Amino acid sequence: MRRGISKPLLLLISLGLLAGGVSIAWRKVIRDQVIPKNFGVVEAGKLYRAGGLTESTMRDVVAEHKIRTIVDLGAFDHEPQREAGMQKLADELNVNRHVFRLKGDATGNPNDYVAALRYMTDPANQPVLVMCSAGAQRTGAAVILYRCLTENRTIQQAYPDSFNYRHDPGKDWVMLAYLADWNDDIQQAYHSGGWIDSQPPTTELYQQPGALTVPARPQP
């Protein structure tokens, strides 16, 4: 005669399913509402980094770190409702928000990084929060460029810090190759006050409601 599942075993299975459901709910829904996604301190009082934040965690980060400026490297590119919501929230919090449309692998127009660095390093804008969707690739590249610029590091010296923020060098080698190709040009354009001439700034992408445009090209 075939026996059914015993009550203790059934209880254990039920508890396991419940625990699994809670775990999934925590990872998929709850965690990002209470813990800022991939958040880190680059330079206390000056620059912070994160992935795409929710409204609640953005409020917390802005309040705790007195954020004055958000440099968004494409956190909500494929989520127009969240994009609009984040801009509305930035306006409500009286935080300047500047959006740059870089690709998820951290490539794109290098002048986007030139402009982003100008916002990130300007004391009038600080404290600054730089962010993208995951907070790993585009944000990681911007932080590496920032450290090279402000701390006189090489890419090789600044790169390992990105491992702490979900950058996987075994899979995401594209970012490092991009930085190797463009770092010198980006640094030179930043210091000259101009742009990388071979890559005209795509200013139309930055002119969004509530956001400032790219810093103007200096007059001769």
State the distance between the two ends of the chain, measured CA to CA, in whole angstroms: 94
Confidence of residue 136 (pLDDT cuts 50, 70, 90): very high
Under 8 Å between Cβ of 149 and 187: yes
How far is 31 from 20, CA to CA, in rounded Å?
15
Neighbour tally for 30: CB within 10 Å: 12
Give this prediction's pTM. Answer: 0.78
Under 8 Å between Cβ of 138 and 179: no
Phi, psi (5° rounding) for residue 208?
-115, 155
pLDDT tens-digit series, residues 63-115: 999 999 999 998 888 888 888 999 999 999 999 999 998 999 999 999 999 99
Residue 19 has pLDDT above 80, yes or no: no
3-state secondary structure at position 92: helix
Residue 187 has pLDDT above 60, yes or no: yes
3-state secondary structure at position 81: helix
Rg (CA), the chain: 21
Phi, psi (5° rounding) for residue 44?
-55, 130
Residue 8 has pLDDT above 90, yes or no: no
| Residue 103: predicted pLDDT | 92
| Residue 188: predicted pLDDT | 94
pLDDT tens-digit series, residues 158-186: 999 999 998 887 767 899 999 999 999 99
| Residue 204: predicted pLDDT | 45
- Cα dihedral value 118, 121, 123, 128, nearest 10: 100
Per the structure block, which two tokens stand in for 113?
Answer: 């990084």
Residue 2 has pLDDT above 60, yes or no: no
Residue 9 has pLDDT above 60, yes or no: no
| Residue 182: predicted pLDDT | 95
How far is 141 from 119, CA to CA, in rounded Å?
15
How far is 52 from 171, CA to CA, in rounded Å?
21
